[in-house]
Chains A and B, each alone.
Chain A
């Protein structure tokens, strides 16, 4: 297993290098001009100077190699310096991947935005799983009951109605219709500056998280509960379930030990594969509720033609996807004794 994991990790290196190059190529092909948003009064010569200062006059492969050097070598060294105080090489003058728009290092921007995204989107994923697993289990066990029918109906709606609709709908209901002084009123804007210091500020934090978390959580729950239900149904009709009943086990044991354990194998994989979406996939929801997380950062970067920012963020999402694919495979092997990677 360890051997397999290490071998897979080795394989991710060329994969990721290739992905980073493709992302760079695609962004380079896009008709983007970082000076495009500057006032028209700036003369073309000055624009050209600005472009030169950003290194845009160099050939594509040089720019790619420079980005690679900055991202793969300078940034990790810088992290070592920041975290442990180890200084390797030139710690002060080292070039880092910088945003064209803000001039600050991209990695610092990402580090700033990460907590909001992890809190809101991560929490919504956890909420989604906590809702989905019991619903999936009960729906399958009581197939075609009213519970299952309602669950199926809600899952269909949750899955087919986009989050930009449910998000706005919730805002209209809980921030507009519900009066300001009501207990049920919820803020429509996520305030990142809020610091949790006491009970009141904690409750404020909870209140401002409810809507984005529920919008995303229900969307995730709709998806996962369908997987859970299908997987449970697959297993409920298996012979080993009859064996477990014939042994005289309680129905609860049969369901929650024998069937659930088997049903979780594919669902855990689906959940693991969905985790990269926590980082990148909630772009729209973050935009609606003004959560200044990674998704919003990416949108700002795209709108401002901030190529280094977009390149780095997109590549980080790719890293996460490759990594969680590996984690899903390893989990699969851990959960299912029949699968051993030798």
Chain B
């Protein structure tokens, strides 16, 4: 077990180095740089060039990368070019808003998605099953951009029930959380349905029914417990992904989280900021994967692949 964890942590470290290198190179391949974005329409090419020189953007890319790695090793992630503050400080100040949003979105998705999947599976090929399947399909296909706008127009403006956007009170989180939850909810419902159907076809379920257990007990004690495993894995991964920033939802709802920060940093070509955001997203993702892997080992010792 100990060796397994050490090995996974080392692998995680390699993933981070790789992510940082790819992020670094990609950023410098896409057209534009912080100097040209800063000066945009009101400067001559010579002025932009001078700015580039001052910002050290004219150094060979390898030297820039080595400099960056050197800084990272001392936990200095660089200052945001557009904001003049340490990029880590900015990430930490935007993280709570994203966590808050993702928390409520996942709660909504889980609380509605899991029962929906269970119901659909337990009433396979009935009208209810079809309704759930169609809804799940819709939920996965509807663009969050459109959904968010519709919610704002109908629930906030027409019905005047909730604020249109922004961050602050509990009421502000409802619309963005719901917008974000719809896709996750549909995903969970569909996965839950199929994994429940898998479990239902097992012999031990037939045995449970045969020995006279009430359907409710079979459903909760035998079916639910087993069909939850793949769903939980997916919930973990999805949460990790969303923590990197729910970009479109945050942008529409003016939600001051990591997604909004990401969009903006890309628009400014704020290299240090984007690099730090990518590193943090990679760390979160790697950590969640690590935790899930370790959980597997704890739940089922057969999974230890190491011999």
Chains A and B form a bound pair: no
